[in-house]
A and B are shown apart, each in its own frame.
Chain A
């Protein structure tokens, strides 16, 4: 009985992550979205669904960045700059990054 409860809980927890109809990874690998130098996602080819996803992810990112900035007593733009560096480094080959206003395939 307890084991099945645990399994249900785990399953529920797993499901809570896939709240988007199109996942971010899908959008990235299909070349619909990419990382910008601002530390946020940018829309390359956007259906309204993709735009909605990007908007949601970006607002969540911003909230996280602001938390970090506040906690460490630095500005949001400093956190954004550091995050951008990391997102660029983390971008998988074949996915897109925005360099000097142009989308480039990494």
Chain B
């Protein structure tokens, strides 16, 4: 993200005659899989168990 902003900024401040070249050695991947923190997972797990027993008419 930062380098993109830098690139945009560089494009803006440089005159159009200049050529800006950015070389990246490796492709940039954006991982959209949000990893749930293990602790939270355990907590939610337990709360779901409680929910299942408290609201047994829903499950």
How distant is the Cα of A86 from the Cα of B59 in the complex, in angstroms? 10
Decide: B59 and A72 in contact? CB cutoff 8 A: no
With contacts A24-B58, A57-B58, A64-B58 taken as known, whether A74 is within 8 angstroms of B51 at the C-beta atoms is: no
Give the number of chain B interface residues (Cβ < 8 Å). Answer: 16
* B45 cross-chain contacts in A, Cβ below 8 A: 82
The smallest beta-carbon distance between B3 and chain A, in angstroms, is 28
* B41 cross-chain contacts in A, Cβ below 8 A: 82
Contacting residues of chain A (9-32) with chain B, CB-CB under 8 angstroms: 17-20, 23-24
Q: Is A75 among interface residues, defined by CB-CB distance under 8 A?
A: yes
* B43 cross-chain contacts in A, Cβ below 8 A: 72
Report how many A-B pairs have Cβ atoms within 8 Å.
47
Scoring B52, B55, B58, B59 by chain A CB atoms within 10 A of each residue's CB, the highest score goes to B59
How distant is the Cα of A72 from the Cα of B47 in the complex, in angstroms? 10
How distant is the Cα of A100 from the Cα of B20 in the complex, in angstroms? 50
Decide: A72 and B57 in contact? CB cutoff 8 A: no
Decide: A79 and B55 in contact? CB cutoff 8 A: no
7 closest A-B pairs by CB: A72-B40, A57-B58, A72-B44, A60-B58, A17-B57, A61-B58, A68-B47
